[in-house]
Amino acid sequence: MSVRPAESITRARSVERLVTGQATSDGAGVKLTRVLTQPLQRRLDPFLMLDAFGSDRADDYIAGFPDHPHRGFETVTYMIAGRMRHRDSAGHEGLLENGGVQWMTAGRGVIHSEIPQQEEGLMEGFQLWLNLPARDKLCAPWYRDFTADELPRFVTEEGVEVTVIAGESHGVVGAVTRESTAPLYLDLQLPAGASFTQALPAGHNAFVYVYRGELTLGDTPVPPKRMAILANDADSDGVRMVAGADTRALLIAGRPLNEPIAQYGPFVMNTEQEIYQAVADYRAGTLAV
């Protein structure tokens, strides 16, 4: 793994607020924590949802997510531990496991299933929903699986291990880049006491989700299982964090689309009329052809 010197920034963003996720279930009864909920979609534009799942009780995940549709955005599934099989209407099939990422652009429409391939043991990971600009909402579906080995990684001089799922960090380009929303998606493993700095454009919305350990961002301690929404301070050019313990966290940022958001379940469009159309197409069997 290449060692990279720290990115230098002049002023770090402050924390605007801490968010505790909401326990919920989705699919055929998978227990999960919705960290980024619908009321935060405008604030965290272009991100629409972040779900965290993590359980070693098979009952919490075994039913999986049988066939369901999506239109108008992208889903990014990051599997920390466990095995899940994906199949979709475009003929794609893949096994997502330990440390792998599945990036799916639903575009004009995909019907897919996500089914656990284990009957016991830990299943842990995240699903992030990234919006598409209006002009791309009906684009052709796209899909790619990345195994853990295929994801770009580096380590900082302070020993922070960084997986670059999307965007660019310390000169390392991630597995996926997107022009319109310029998403940055980093998984950080910080040893206790280590600090990490990342340059961020001031106008991009950004948040950190601590899933193990604890961090201090500016003056704000961030306990485990909390999302810290970073303020868009006009004179700040990045984020700086210090780990209070061995810590794992996601750092996610992107350029807001500033377009209307109309969501009905798995369809995210710009207007109600487009939502009606998505529902009609799904009922008519023409959503994903």
CB-count exposure of residue 38 (10 Å: 0-12, 13-18, 19+): exposed
274 annotated as belonging to a binding site for a ligand = no
112 annotated as belonging to a binding site for a ligand = yes
Strand, helix or coil for residue 11? coil
* Residue from 14, 246, 230, 47 nearest 127 by CA: 47
Contact, 34 vs 22, CB < 8 A? yes
* CB-CB neighbours of 282 under 10 Å: 18
Q: For residue 226, give every residue at least 6 positions away whose Cβ sits within 8 Å of its Cβ, in sequence order, or none.
A: 18, 19, 20, 209, 210
Strand, helix or coil for residue 124? strand
204 annotated as belonging to a binding site for a ligand = no
% helix, strand, coil for the chain, step of 5: 10, 50, 40
Contact, 128 vs 76, CB < 8 A? yes
Q: Which residues are annotated as a binding site?
A: 68, 70, 112, 114
Q: Which residues are annotated as a binding site for Fe cation?
A: 68, 70, 112, 114
